[in-house]
Amino acid sequence: MAALRTLLLLGLLLTARGQRAAQRRRPSPPQSALEKVAAQEGLGLHQLSGKWFLVSMASRCSYLAEHSHQLEATTMTITILDGQSLAISTFRKLDRMCWEIRQHYLPAQAPGRFLLKGHRKSSKVDVVVGEADPSSFIILYYQKGHSVSVKLYGKLGLGASWQVKDRGGKPLLDSGEAS
């Protein structure tokens, strides 16, 4: 009986030791590219509401790389739903037809971060509001899987002109005001 107990105890110890070793060998999950992007601080959702125009975008998507010269005018209207989430209505011309795309951005773990849910778990899109000057521009980062896209939206007022300036190697959008 004592030999059976010793054998059982030895088996349990070896099993527990093997599980701990397996846990140590597992690599940590890779950090999301958008986790490195700092969301704009002090930006209220009410500052994002309104009509925005797509100025430029960047992506490694092969379709955009081949057809970016054919991008059509795109307008995005942001409405605040419940004080935390955003209703996005995007109008764009595609194949000589106007399309409206409606989306609901849910709040994520931190201010300036949102989640766009798809029908499948694999179709979720993380959204981060990067740099922003609510009177003139916002930069939105989108990540679906490992693919990241960046979009620059601008607001045009009467007499506004757009220029991209280089300040210390970092391009910034300027609405023509002296800085």
Give the Cα separation of 9 and 16 in Å (integer).
11
C-alpha distances out from residue 91 to 41, 74, 101, 157, Å: 28, 6, 7, 19
pLDDT classification of 20: cutoffs 50, 70, 90: low
Range of the domain at 132: 33-164
CATH number at residue 160: 2.40.128.20
**174 domain-assigned:** no
**11 domain-assigned:** no
pLDDT at 70: 63
Q: Residue 29 pLDDT more than 70?
A: no
**14 domain-assigned:** no
Rg (CA), the chain: 24
Q: What percent of the chain has pLDDT over 70?
A: 66
Q: Could you read off the pLDDT of 160-175 as tens digits, one per residue? A: 455 544 444 444 444 4
pLDDT at 61: 78
Model confidence, pTM: 0.70
The count of structural domains within the chain is 1
